[in-house]
A and B are shown apart, each in its own frame.
Chain A
Amino acid sequence: MSKGDLNLLEGDSQLSASTLPPSEAAPQAEVTRRGFLKQSGGAASAAALLSLPKASAAATVPVPATGPAQVLGPGAVPATLLVNGKPQKVMIEPRDTLVTVLRDRLGLLGTKLGCDRGGCGACTVWVAGAPSLACMTLALDVAGLAGQPPQAITTVEGLAKGSVLHPLQQAFVDKDALQCGFCTPGMLMSCAALHEQARAAGKLASVGEKEVREAIAGNLCRCGAYPHIIEAALAAAKLPTAPAPGKGGVK
């Protein structure tokens, strides 16, 4: 070790239970909740001292941590998905991905399956307003289960308001931001999420090319429509009175 090294201590304890030093008893936390602190020790308790962003704390639904672990499946179990603002009861196997359930059970065929490995973004939908890969999401992970509400799913079908296209959908048509159209639903969901997040932050008009490119970096378009997609996303951002999206909007 060189003299000026950043003080790396050699020989950390082994991770086996016998040799690792037990952690210090939990210091008194400013905020204490539930009984878990005693179980989890210092690491968790320290979290109570963090300066926490308020939004996420508020988003938690408090459920007493008293019941046993739920075991679902391996067969199909009844669950509720909240898709485009509508609760949908559906039987789901633990191994079912969200894209399968949306397409095969709920008949929402706008969401496409391109690679089934998260490599192309064709299956992009919003989960609680964030662009997510429906092929890499277990449907039960976003479903309503005992004690836990479903997360809001928005698919391309939920982007338009009735027959009125979302401004981005219209811009995609106007700028010819598509060719074969297979990537388009996923591409739209990524672009629209960028827009809605920018809108929520009051920054829609200043959405720039770099942000658009980054927002769609996980969406593959084999036809190469990118230049027009970028144009469309920028043009839609500049619209004076872009209305808010349809059901299941973005946080």
Chain B
Amino acid sequence: MSRIEVPVGIVGVGLNSEQREVPDGTPPAWRDNQSLAQVGKSPTRIDGADKVSGRARYTADIVRPGMLHAKVLRSPHPHARVHRVDLSEALKMPGVKAAVVLPHLLGIADDGSARSTLVNRVRYYGQPVAAVAAQTLEQTVDALSKIKVDYDVLPFVVDREEARKPTAPKVFEQAVTARGSAGGGGSKDKLNQQGNIRGPRRSAPRGRDVDKQAAQVTQALLAGPHGVRATYKTQVQTHSALETHGMVAEWDRAKEELTVWASTQGIFSVRDDLAEYLDIPATKVRVITDFCGGGFGAKFGAGNYGVLAALLAKEAGAPVRLVLDRREEHLAVGNRPGSEQNIALAAAADGKLTAIEVKGFGFGGAGAGAGFGGPALSMYDCPAVYVEESDVFTHSGPLAAFRAPGHPQGAFALEQAMDELAERLHVDPLTLRDLNDSHPARREERKRTAASFGWSSRTPTGQGPRLGKLGEIRRGIGLAQGCWYHLVNLESSAEVRIHRDGSVEILTGVQDIGGGVRTPLAQVVAEELQLSIDKIKVTIGDTRLPPGPGSGGSVTTASITPATREAAYAAKQALLKELQAVLSLDQQPELQGGNVVGVKGGKPITPLPFAKACARMRRAEVLGSATRQPDYGATATGKRGNFAAQLGGVQMVEVEVNTFTGVVKVLRVVAAHDCGRPVNPLLVHSQIHGGIIQGISYALFEERRLDPRTGRVLNGNFEQYKIAGALDVPKIDVILLEELRGRSSTDVSGIGEPATVPTAAAVANAVYNAIGVRIRELPITPARVLAALASQRGDAKP
């Protein structure tokens, strides 16, 4: 081990130098971005031209010789026992080459039976049962109608209230466990389970005793003197990536090897699932993802559709393309679970929080939907924090991790409660947060956001100007903050090759889901090798490459850029060592200003440009490889008191509410965020825009609708499932902090998740400021706004 100096602090606020103990061979720390040539700059995406020209190939664009088309048969019932699935008639249909029954159901909570037997029970409408592959998609559709399934239809429940009653039909007969994914969802704990309620899971901030915290919270809430309590509800949101889930699977009978092209956020998770479910070694599965049309958390693992595609390919001995349609996408491949949270805050007279309590339920269909306690547990300095949450199962499509799992829900409740408390205390909402959150990044973000937004001009709630011909339009502003975590996936390796012709290649099995990871990888290597990024070829998206992290939990750049820099550093050392030998230098030369400089016989040699230096190599190439090391020092994430491990942001929003029609429009947003060292601010801005826009869409429009009497999804399309479009998007100003922490060789953290955490809460707070009545349920529809205004008028009556 050796020690290095690292800069720590927020650029523009103050940087300190700290020491870190690091493994030998670790490259020296970079100073701030201003001192760097490539990192912290905003070159355009190196694959931008592929995407704008239509050349970029997504999974649905893969065409293989003799490829068949496949489609999934889904349960028309929300709850039924499956006695028999008869494929024989389907197999006789024209063009049909294979038909299979789904062997085991993935993606739902696990009652112990799912993995061992053929699917014998359906627990949600749209649950996959079987699949057919045929020469044309039309033939496949015709064949599906010939599959005979004997269903024994059972009573079901999709209503949140009904599901909690002891008499409700049970989704699971036995206690279940649930796999988590990408920083969210699920719990392997053996929790108490009664009827459809599993839990509660009790939690307190890390390092604190849960029982003691619970007692302290109870005491503080009783003592007051200032407290608020209310219940908040959030809806089910579907990921709705524009590219649906899909896979092209090709089975090589001779080699017994499977090659798949998958629309995925994690090629290695797909590989491992397929190896497991087809019972073949991981070495016999290759997964390729050149481009992925969005995932937002729902595209990890092979998925039921992927297992079906692989089985069909194996049975047919031909490549099979199985791409879900838009409706299937809304039914069966994940969603952000709904929540119902009762939150109580207490504060002393000076405004300092004395207690935060959250108790509630998560509704993840046939999966475990709780997990909204994150913001309450980690955002504020509060001596007593206690969270109690339970999963409530219903007969509906299961959740999947969705951009900052649990956190938009949690922030929606917590950040409105903070505003309510501020009002109770007669302090400005911004001041209350300053009083209770000492995180240096959040503090700086509040300061900069407020200045840019003009927070000080906020009018008291309900007293803003009345616009419109009839004074029916009111404006309001609101703020909220959110948190996420500096998470790292250590299974992140990269290889960097420097070729004799001076070209450089990066190989790593990461994949791009839209963040544009190819470009920051090129920047990092260009920085290390003092090259321009056009000299660097980036190859990703193939499990034959060194393993890269799954793209979820905002881990991608934080995980893979340090490994890549270190690989480049190692390759550089190898090159320099080689040059020392070839050029008979006194010692290992150095790379300075793009040139190799060294000393021979006590005299400096003529500086050699990089390419010319490479040409002197005796070998065709040198390479370096590296695997992500744990963060320098502690690797704890999300630990309260360990500021460096928390990411977050502050958003301020202005809305306009039409009090006659209930329509809410977001006019502008100012958002300040931190993500460690931003490698490419342009791309980071894009992701922040995306998080905010998804947040606005979540706040105002989106909701998966189920028919309570049939358990079916009513709006499985883009017409009635409403997503914000260009006319719903406000002006967005982004303030990006450069917060150095001295944790890795690139000191990068993520941005995908934190950008969407506070938005819905900020919108809700702004709506309150506009109309003076609080809306505690998402989405904030005209119906809810009008109901709230009506109740307000009712309250005002003598």
A and B, direct touch (CB closer than 8 Å): yes
Interface of A with B (CB < 8 Å)? 103, 107-117, 119-120, 122, 155-157, 159-160, 165, 169-170, 172-174, 176, 178-185, 188, 212-214, 216-230
- Residues of chain B within 8 A of A113, CB atoms compared: 60
Tell me, in angstroms, the Cα distance from A238 to B731 when the chains sit together. 20
Q: Assess whether B76 is interfacial by the CB under 8 Å rule.
A: no
Closest residue of A by beta carbon distance from B730: A227
- Residues of chain A within 8 A of B95, CB atoms compared: none
| New A-B contacts (7) at CB < 8 Å, excluding given A117-B326, A181-B293, A227-B689 | A112-B58, A115-B717, A119-B718, A173-B49, A179-B514, A180-B242, A217-B726
Tell me, in angstroms, the Cα distance from A222 to B701 when the chains sit together. 13
Tell me, in angstroms, the Cα distance from A165 to B49 when the chains sit together. 8
Tell me, in angstroms, the Cα distance from A220 to B60 when the chains sit together. 18
- Residues of chain A within 8 A of B723, CB atoms compared: 220, 222
Interchain nearest-CB distance for B623 vs A (Å): 30
Top 7 closest pairs, chain A to chain B, by CB: A110-B54, A119-B718, A182-B293, A224-B693, A180-B514, A181-B51, A224-B690
Tell me, in angstroms, the Cα distance from A112 to B291 when the chains sit together. 13
- Which of B51, B61, B691, B717 has most chain A Cβ within 10 Å? B51
Q: Assess whether B48 is interfacial by the CB under 8 Å rule.
A: yes
The answer to whether B719 and A223 touch across the interface, beta carbons within 8 angstroms, is no
- Residues of chain B within 8 A of A188, CB atoms compared: 52
- Residues of chain A within 8 A of B325, CB atoms compared: 116
Interface of B with A (CB < 8 Å)? 44-45, 48-58, 60-61, 63, 240-244, 291-294, 296, 325-326, 512-516, 682-683, 685-687, 689-694, 717-719, 723-727, 729, 731-732
CB < 8 Å neighbour of B54 from A157, A217, A220: A157
- Which of A122, A181, A212 has most chain B Cβ within 10 Å? A181
- Residues of chain B within 8 A of A214, CB atoms compared: 726-727
Tell me, in angstroms, the Cα distance from A69 to B325 when the chains sit together. 36
Given contacts A179-B687, A180-B294, A224-B690, contact A109 B57 (CB under 8 A): yes
- Residues of chain A within 8 A of B291, CB atoms compared: 180-181
What are 8 sample pairs from A and B whose C-beta atoms fall under 8 A apart?
A: A112-B242, A116-B325, A174-B44, A179-B294, A179-B686, A181-B56, A224-B729, A228-B689
The answer to whether B691 and A182 touch across the interface, beta carbons within 8 angstroms, is no
The answer to whether B514 and A172 touch across the interface, beta carbons within 8 angstroms, is no
The answer to whether A179 and B515 touch across the interface, beta carbons within 8 angstroms, is yes
- Residues of chain B within 8 A of A169, CB atoms compared: 49, 52-53
The answer to whether A226 and B52 touch across the interface, beta carbons within 8 angstroms, is no
- Residues of chain B within 8 A of A217, CB atoms compared: 725-727
- Residues of chain B within 8 A of A180, CB atoms compared: 241-243, 291-294, 512-514
- Residues of chain B within 8 A of A156, CB atoms compared: 52-54
Closest residue of B by beta carbon distance from A109: B61
- Residues of chain B within 8 A of A115, CB atoms compared: 326, 717-718
Closest residue of B by beta carbon distance from A120: B718
The answer to whether B53 and A160 touch across the interface, beta carbons within 8 angstroms, is yes
The answer to whether B689 and A225 touch across the interface, beta carbons within 8 angstroms, is yes
Interface of A is mostly: loop
Interchain nearest-CB distance for B242 vs A (Å): 4
- Residues of chain A within 8 A of B45, CB atoms compared: 173, 176, 178
Tell me, in angstroms, the Cα distance from A216 to B294 when the chains sit together. 19
The answer to whether B54 and A228 touch across the interface, beta carbons within 8 angstroms, is no
CB < 8 Å neighbour of A173 from B44, B244, B296: B44
Tell me, in angstroms, the Cα distance from A167 to B631 when the chains sit together. 44
Tell me, in angstroms, the Cα distance from A185 to B359 when the chains sit together. 46
- Residues of chain A within 8 A of B690, CB atoms compared: 179, 223-225
Closest residue of B by beta carbon distance from A119: B718
- Residues of chain A within 8 A of B51, CB atoms compared: 172, 178, 181, 184
- Residues of chain A within 8 A of B242, CB atoms compared: 112, 114, 120, 122, 180, 182-183, 220-223
CB < 8 Å neighbour of B48 from A178, A218, A230: A178
Tell me, in angstroms, the Cα distance from A113 to B293 when the chains sit together. 11
Given contacts A156-B53, A172-B52, A222-B723, contact A182 B58 (CB under 8 A): yes
Tell me, in angstroms, the Cα distance from A113 to B325 when the chains sit together. 9
The answer to whether A184 and B52 touch across the interface, beta carbons within 8 angstroms, is yes
Tell me, in angstroms, the Cα distance from A184 to B516 when the chains sit together. 14
The answer to whether B53 and A165 touch across the interface, beta carbons within 8 angstroms, is yes
Given contacts A156-B53, A222-B294, A228-B686, contact A112 B726 (CB under 8 A): no
Interchain nearest-CB distance for B245 vs A (Å): 13
- Residues of chain B within 8 A of A119, CB atoms compared: 326, 717-719
CB < 8 Å neighbour of B240 from A107, A212, A222: A222
Interchain nearest-CB distance for B632 vs A (Å): 31
- Which of B693, B694, B731 has most chain A Cβ within 10 Å? B693
- Residues of chain B within 8 A of A155, CB atoms compared: 54
Interchain nearest-CB distance for A209 vs B (Å): 9
Tell me, in angstroms, the Cα distance from A107 to B63 when the chains sit together. 9
- Residues of chain A within 8 A of B726, CB atoms compared: 212-214, 216-217, 219, 226, 229-230
- Residues of chain B within 8 A of A221, CB atoms compared: 242
Tell me, in angstroms, the Cα distance from A172 to B48 when the chains sit together. 8
The answer to whether B294 and A182 touch across the interface, beta carbons within 8 angstroms, is yes
Interchain nearest-CB distance for A80 vs B (Å): 22
Interchain nearest-CB distance for A182 vs B (Å): 3
Closest residue of A by beta carbon distance from B69: A104
Given contacts A119-B718, A219-B726, contact A173 B294 (CB under 8 A): no
The answer to whether A226 and B682 touch across the interface, beta carbons within 8 angstroms, is no
Tell me, in angstroms, the Cα distance from A218 to B58 when the chains sit together. 22
Interchain nearest-CB distance for B731 vs A (Å): 8
Closest residue of B by beta carbon distance from A103: B61
- Residues of chain A within 8 A of B512, CB atoms compared: 180
Interchain nearest-CB distance for B721 vs A (Å): 9
Closest residue of B by beta carbon distance from A182: B293
Tell me, in angstroms, the Cα distance from A217 to B60 when the chains sit together. 25
- Residues of chain A within 8 A of B732, CB atoms compared: 227
Tell me, in angstroms, the Cα distance from A159 to B55 when the chains sit together. 12
The answer to whether A224 and B692 touch across the interface, beta carbons within 8 angstroms, is yes
Tell me, in angstroms, the Cα distance from A182 to B717 when the chains sit together. 17
The answer to whether B243 and A225 touch across the interface, beta carbons within 8 angstroms, is no
Tell me, in angstroms, the Cα distance from A214 to B729 when the chains sit together. 12
- Residues of chain B within 8 A of A165, CB atoms compared: 49, 52-53
The answer to whether A112 and B686 touch across the interface, beta carbons within 8 angstroms, is no
- Residues of chain A within 8 A of B44, CB atoms compared: 173-174, 176
Interchain nearest-CB distance for A117 vs B (Å): 6
Closest residue of B by beta carbon distance from A157: B54
- Residues of chain B within 8 A of A103, CB atoms compared: 61
- Which of A116, A184, A229 has most chain B Cβ within 10 Å? A184
Tell me, in angstroms, the Cα distance from A213 to B514 when the chains sit together. 22
The answer to whether A179 and B516 touch across the interface, beta carbons within 8 angstroms, is yes
Tell me, in angstroms, the Cα distance from A178 to B325 when the chains sit together. 23
Tell me, in angstroms, the Cα distance from A191 to B691 when the chains sit together. 23
Interchain nearest-CB distance for A198 vs B (Å): 17
- Residues of chain B within 8 A of A122, CB atoms compared: 242
Given contacts A213-B727, A217-B726, contact A185 B294 (CB under 8 A): no
Tell me, in angstroms, the Cα distance from A120 to B292 when the chains sit together. 17
Interchain nearest-CB distance for B683 vs A (Å): 6
Closest residue of A by beta carbon distance from B669: A227
The answer to whether B243 and A173 touch across the interface, beta carbons within 8 angstroms, is no
- Residues of chain A within 8 A of B691, CB atoms compared: 224
- Residues of chain B within 8 A of A224, CB atoms compared: 689-694, 724, 729
Interchain nearest-CB distance for A221 vs B (Å): 7
Tell me, in angstroms, the Cα distance from A103 to B57 when the chains sit together. 12
Tell me, in angstroms, the Cα distance from A102 to B596 when the chains sit together. 52
CB < 8 Å neighbour of A112 from B49, B243, B514, B515: B243
